[in-house]
A = this chain, B = another copy of it.
Amino acid sequence: MTRIHDDPATFADDQLAGFLDLYADRVRGVHGGVVAHRGDGGPQVAVVIGGGSGHYPAFCGTVGPGMAHGAVVGNIFTSPSAAQAYSVAKAADQGRGVVFSFGNYAGDTINFGIAADRLRAEGIDTRVVVVTDDVASADEPSRRRGIAGDFTVFKAMGAAAARGADLDEVERIGNRANAATRTLGVAFSGCTMPGEDEPLFTVPDGHLGLGLGIHGEPGIRDVPMLPARELAELLVDDVLKHAPAGAPGRVGAILNGLGTTKYEELFLLWRHVAPRLRDAGYAIVDPEVGELVTSLDMGGCSLTLMWLDDELEPLWRADAYTPAYRKSAAPVAALREPTADELAEADAVVTAPAASGAARGLAGTVRTALAAVESTIRSHEHELGRIDAVAGDGDHGRGMLKGITAATARVGELGDDVGGGWALQQAGQAWAERAGGTSGVLWGAALEAFGRHLGDTADGYPAATVVAGTREFATTIQQLGGAQAGDKTLLDALLPFVDELERRVGAGEGLAGAWTAAAATGAAAATADLRPRIGRARPLAEKSVGTPDAGATSLGLIVTAVADVLTSQEEQT
């Protein structure tokens, strides 16, 4: 919906006033529209474009060096008057004549025609180039409406004028550009005039209006909405079907959004449009994907092709600098593709450091522990989900399983010569990438920090080193997640576990025994009575009281599983 306005009746004038304030350094307002400040070259043929408002950047947004010299600004979707066109042309004229150019609509044709007569009567040679690119609007090319192809025609003439072409030449080029341009559009939804609650027209739900005009003029037919690939095929194939006779194998292209259809959608469509054009044998020259001719908040898009020969191609490629359309070859020409060395450096995979014998031994423990964790999570997946569903979205079991599965798979791909520190780092990265969600990212980062702390160069991994690694694990989760003890998160099991482990190992206890006792402490931590104070569970805080935290529960399960691994390893040695 069009929502920002004061008096809807003065919308067109009011928006123009804002435009003129914004671009006062490059254009000036005159009765009926906008005239570009002149450049420092000699006088140029004045290309004066125009039509109704509501189509920005058409028309005043493309006034400036390399494009139009003036734009006549009518009311919304309404032709400007002859007096407006006359006034803008009079101000834009630099003594070398005027070319009026606009889309083929009855009102514009009449009013610009009257203005042209009046200018000629005053001795200002004035020509008229009418844009007729919309292949859906009529079989007979000269009766077709003008839509996004306005842009290619205006650009060709603006570039020619900027190069000093005379009036005959600019007119001739405009007509050639129009003869070389074809557009097909589709609409997904209508647009709403300022002050109105209902759209000017509608497209049936789940359909697209094929060939619907930019003011809602009748199209060819409504068809059910298509996936992007098929929509691209429809647009490309139909525009190519209307290719000018003897057309060259190069095209300028515009994939134009009508208002509500956004850039991401247009890029997605371009992904299919470009290869289909190339498969048809065309070289695509300087394509434009974006909003060049819109219709307020209408949903839809159009594909325009201009077939480029040796005369039109440089005009299409030429620089321009207007409020809405700016193109400069120089900054792109100054760029260079990355060198092979740079690419190699960027893509260089960090390889595992050489591992000590002790580190390689530790890797075995890591593998065994990860397998045990995967096993316990797999058997508790649904229980964890049920606990999480009380005040969350119930995906904790599934997320943890995705994480640990990715971690064990990654470690399984590592060679036998890596150390335990590297294995834990790789496990953490895989976990974070696959598990998703905040808990996945935290578990992954914490495992990675644990592994980094252990390293792979030590001659041995005494209990104190492992304890310091678990502290690193906990600190990472605290820092990244921003939670504190008592917030009803996994920290409420993790911190008691690490504290107890530190205490026992500090008192001289062996790792396996200390870990087993600490795991019991962690697993027993009572989070059921806590209220969540962080994260997405917060809004449902009351509802969760009486149920333990899912993250604390899974942590308890995991440290318990690891305790069994450590105990059985100690028994074996």
Name the B residues within 8 Å of A444 (CB-CB): 82, 114
Within 8 A of B (CB), among A438-463: 438, 441-442, 444-445, 448-449, 452
In angstroms, Cα B342 to Cα A263, docked, is 41
Interface flags for A34-66 (1: CB within 8 Å of B; 0: not) read 011111100000000000011011000100110
Interface flags for A298-324 (1: CB within 8 Å of B; 0: not) read 010100000000000000000001001
In whole Å, how far is A14's beta carbon from the nearest beta carbon of chain B?
Answer: 5
In angstroms, Cα B65 to Cα A57, docked, is 24
In angstroms, Cα B440 to Cα A81, docked, is 10
**Residue of A18, A269, A336, A481 with highest tally of chain B CB at under 10 A:** A18
Within 8 A of B (CB), among A259-274: 259-271, 274
Name the B residues within 8 Å of A28 (CB-CB): 337-338
A261 partner, pick from B3, B15, B16, B449, beta carbons under 8 A: B3
Let me know if A122 and B22 touch, CB within 8 A.
Answer: no
Binds B, one of A289-297, A389-397, A523-531: A289-297
A-B contact pairs, 22 of them (CB 8 A): A3-B265, A4-B231, A4-B301, A11-B264, A15-B264, A18-B267, A40-B336, A54-B264, A56-B267, A65-B331, A65-B334, A81-B432, A81-B433, A106-B438, A109-B480, A110-B438, A110-B442, A114-B441, A114-B448, A263-B324, A321-B332, A326-B328
Query: Given that A81-B433, A114-B445, A331-B65 are contacting pairs, would A260 and B260 also be in contact in the complex, using a CB cutoff of 8 Å?
Result: yes
Let me know if A268 and B338 touch, CB within 8 A.
Answer: no
**Nearest chain B residue, comparing its CB with the CB of A319:** B331
In angstroms, Cα B121 to Cα A1, docked, is 51
| 6 further interface pairs, Cβ-Cβ under 8 Å (given A15-B265, A81-B433) | A3-B299, A5-B227, A26-B335, A37-B336, A81-B432, A106-B482
In whole Å, how far is A533's beta carbon from the nearest beta carbon of chain B?
Answer: 14
Name the B residues within 8 Å of A264 (CB-CB): 2, 11, 15, 53-54, 56, 296
A328 partner, pick from B25, B328, B335, B480, beta carbons under 8 A: B328
Query: Is A350's CB within 8 Å of the partner chain B?
Result: yes
Within 8 A of B (CB), among A2-30: 2-6, 11, 14-19, 21-22, 25-26, 28, 30
A334 partner, pick from B39, B110, B350, B482, beta carbons under 8 A: B39
Query: Is A429's CB within 8 Å of the partner chain B?
Result: yes
Name the B residues within 8 Å of A122 (CB-CB): 350
Within 8 A of B (CB), among A109-159: 109-111, 113-114, 117-118, 121-122
Name the B residues within 8 Å of A554 (CB-CB): none
Query: Is A189's CB within 8 Å of the partner chain B?
Result: yes
Query: Is A188's CB within 8 Å of the partner chain B?
Result: yes
Name the B residues within 8 Å of A111 (CB-CB): 441
A266 partner, pick from B4, B118, B337, beta carbons under 8 A: B4
Query: Is A229's CB within 8 Å of the partner chain B?
Result: yes
Query: Is A228's CB within 8 Å of the partner chain B?
Result: yes
Let me know if A265 and B2 touch, CB within 8 A.
Answer: yes
In angstroms, Cα B452 to Cα A6, docked, is 41
**Residue of A114, A262, A271, A297 with highest tally of chain B CB at under 10 A:** A262
Let me know if B3 and A188 touch, CB within 8 A.
Answer: yes
Query: Copies of this chain, how many?
Result: 2
Let me know if A228 and B14 touch, CB within 8 A.
Answer: yes
In angstroms, Cα B121 to Cα A429, docked, is 14
Query: Is A517's CB within 8 Å of the partner chain B?
Result: no
In whole Å, how far is A136's beta carbon from the nearest beta carbon of chain B?
Answer: 19
Query: Is A164's CB within 8 Å of the partner chain B?
Result: no
Query: Is A409's CB within 8 Å of the partner chain B?
Result: no
Query: Given that A260-B260, A264-B54, A299-B1 are contacting pairs, would A328 and B321 also be in contact in the complex, using a CB cutoff of 8 Å?
Result: yes
In whole Å, how far is A387's beta carbon from the nearest beta carbon of chain B?
Answer: 22
Let me know if A296 and B262 touch, CB within 8 A.
Answer: yes
